Amino acid sequence: MLSKQVFAQIEALQPSIAPPLRHMMQLAKQVADPDLLELCTGYIDAALRLENWTPPYSPLTDKERAFIAFTEQFVTAVGTMKDEQVQDLLMFASADEVYAFVNSIYVTDMAKRLELVAAKVLP
């Protein structure tokens, strides 16, 4: 989620935080459906760079579309997330799976943001 260069900068500047940061990012990759997470990570990466995102294959399944729609809302304006957008996930995944996915997306989203900004502002 973080490049080696940015992680090394953070590790040098905040040595007590780097290990739990690394562990959290590792766990985020392990607890969610890896294919869905990879698809949504691709979306996040493009969205945060203000680039157009095209799916790596098509057509996406209804499940993949629901998770991408959730991810888009999460990344752009989580405060206006609608009940229906979570209900759409629950049509395809259990509550445990949705909970794990949402927390994995939090880590992925914020790690990507950290990568983009830290690379510009850290010495």
Partner 1 sequence: MTHYQPRLVAEDLTPGVAHKGPLDQGIADFAAAVVNAKAVDPLITELVRLRCAQVHDCRLCGSLRNQEALDQGFDEIMHSKIARYESSDFNPAIIAALQLCDAIILSPTAANATLKEKLQQYFSAAQIAEICLDVMKWSQQKALVALRSEAPISDTVSVLSFDQQGNPRLGGPAYS
**List of residues contacting partner 1 (CB under 8 A):** 9-10, 13-14, 16-17, 19-21, 23-24, 26-28, 30-31, 48-50, 70, 73-74, 78-81, 83, 86-87, 90, 94-100, 102-107, 109-114, 116-118, 120-123
Q: How far is the CB of 76 from partner 1 (least distance, A)?
A: 10
Distance CA 5, CA 2 (A): 8
Decide whether 60 or 86 has the Cβ nearer to partner 1. 86
Q: How far is the CB of 120 from partner 1 (least distance, A)?
A: 4
Q: How far is the CB of 88 from partner 1 (least distance, A)?
A: 11
On whether the CB atoms of residues 101 and 67 are closer than 8 A, the answer is yes
Decide whether 21 or 39 has the Cβ nearer to partner 1. 21
Query: What residues contact residue 21 under an 8 Å CB cut-off, 6+ apart?
Result: 7, 10
On whether the CB atoms of residues 117 and 53 are closer than 8 A, the answer is no
Decide whether 20 or 58 has the Cβ nearer to partner 1. 20
Q: How far is the CB of 33 from partner 1 (least distance, A)?
A: 12
3-state class (DSSP) for residue 17 = coil
CB-based burial, 105-116: b 16+ in 10 Å, e otherwise: bebbbebbebbe
